[in-house]
């Protein structure tokens, strides 16, 4: 067996902090341990929040940490066609629908319902547009009404062999390893393409991991729930399923997850204060090189 292909996939919407450093080192070391390859992917589908200076800082700081990655780097904004093709394949399988709801309308509907089901990211979409007739959908699309595209999870379920499973190599939030059963309803009818971004995180990640031949997806426990719907998209699109290695999140002194807005833990700030890459590795529990 050849080694694992792993990736670190930051969004250039802020400066990297210690949590990103941990994720990058974890992915790079997982590849190195197996004699494989380490990739960096720029997840910049959110054009409004992505900035070239953040992307430049990502490369600069990863190199400063001592990491080396394969070239060329894949930048998602250059591959919207790939995601559009995947969406077209899902449309052809009749398991997606256009959603014309505004955020306000969704919030109002949720507020009005007695018991709105919740997922890991908050209330689940109530399915308003799933109920629209084919005629109404056509008419609104023809009229040029802005829409997002959502997966019809109930229809999708009928198209795949359930239960779907994925291989957990790390320790997800539940500590379970080995074969995990995907909870494909966890986010309800999640978004595949947004009004303002032609590909959602879920769709672009699944397409890219397959196109790039990623065999081991390492990422933080905060994305553990997402893996279930990624497994569903892989099954619907006929893509291979990588193995997954979820890892712990780096917390601040108060026990809270680090966020891009906390300047104190950005690599940029630490570096300016004279902290060395070796000290960062050590602080994050990696052996110094």
Return residues touching ligand GLU (CB under 6 A).
9-11, 43, 205, 219, 223
Distance, CA of 198 to chain centre: 15
The radius of gyration of the chain's CA atoms, rounded to the nearest angstrom, is 20
Taking the complex as a whole, the smallest distance from the CB of residue 20 to ligand GLU amounts, in Å, to 8
Of 91, 183, 195, 260, which is the active-site residue?
260
Residue (153 or 205) nearer to ligand GLU, CB: 205
- The CA distance from 18 to 16, in Å, is 7
Q: How many residues does the chain have?
A: 289
Taking the complex as a whole, the smallest distance from the CB of residue 139 to ligand GLU amounts, in Å, to 36
- The CA distance from 31 to 245, in Å, is 12
Closest CA relative to residue 201, chosen from 121, 95, 107:
121
Taking the complex as a whole, the smallest distance from the CB of residue 277 to ligand GLU amounts, in Å, to 21
User: Taking a C-beta distance cutoff of 8 angstroms, is the pair 43, 11 a contact?
Assistant: yes
Taking the complex as a whole, the smallest distance from the CB of residue 9 to ligand GLU amounts, in Å, to 4
Closest CA relative to residue 224, chosen from 181, 261, 262:
181
- The CA distance from 51 to 49, in Å, is 7
Residue (10 or 198) nearer to ligand GLU, CB: 10
Residue (11 or 200) nearer to ligand GLU, CB: 11
Burial class (CB in 10 A: 0-12, 13-18, 19+), 190: buried
SS3 37: strand
Neighbours of 43 (CB within 10 A): 19
Residue (177 or 212) nearer to ligand GLU, CB: 212
Residue (21 or 101) nearer to ligand GLU, CB: 21
Taking the complex as a whole, the smallest distance from the CB of residue 150 to ligand GLU amounts, in Å, to 20
The answer to whether residue 260 is catalytic is yes
Query: What amino acid positions are annotated as catalytic residues?
Result: 260
């Amino acid at each position: 067996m050849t080694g694992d292909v792993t990736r670190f996939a930051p969004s250039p919407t802020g400066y990297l902090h210690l949590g990103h450093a941990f994720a990058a080192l974890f992915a790079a070391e997982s590849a190195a341990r197996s004699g494989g390859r380490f990739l960096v992917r720029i997840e910049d589908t959110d054009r409004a929040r992505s900035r070239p200076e953040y992307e430049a800082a990502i490369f600069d700081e990863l190199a400063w940490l001592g990491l080396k990655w394969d070239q060329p780097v894949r930048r998602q904004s250059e591959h919207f066609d790939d995601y559009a093709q995947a969406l077209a394949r899902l449309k052809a399988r009749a398991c997606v629908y256009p959603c014309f709801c505004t955020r306000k309308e969704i919030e109002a509907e949720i507020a009005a319902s007695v018991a709105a089901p919740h997922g890991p990211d908050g209330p689940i979409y109530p399915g308003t547009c799933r109920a629209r007739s084919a005629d109404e959908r056509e008419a609104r699309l023809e009229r040029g009404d802005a829409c997002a595209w959502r997966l019809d999870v109930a229809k999708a379920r009928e198209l795949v062999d359930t239960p779907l499973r994925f291989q957990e190599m790390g320790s997800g939030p539940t500590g379970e390893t080995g074969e995990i059963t995907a909870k494909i309803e966890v986010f309800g009818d999640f978004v595949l393409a947004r009004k303002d971004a032609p590909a959602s995180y879920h769709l672009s990640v699944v397409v890219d991991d397959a196109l790039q031949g990623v065999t081991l997806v390492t990422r933080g426990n905060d994305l553990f729930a997402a893996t279930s719907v990624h497994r569903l998209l892989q099954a619907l699109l006929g893509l291979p399923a990588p193995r997954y290695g979820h890892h712990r999140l780096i917390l601040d002194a108060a026990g809270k997850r680090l966020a891009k807005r906390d300047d104190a833990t950005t690599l940029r700030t630490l570096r300016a204060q004279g902290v060395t890459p070796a000290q960062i590795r050590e602080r994050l529990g990696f052996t110094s090189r």
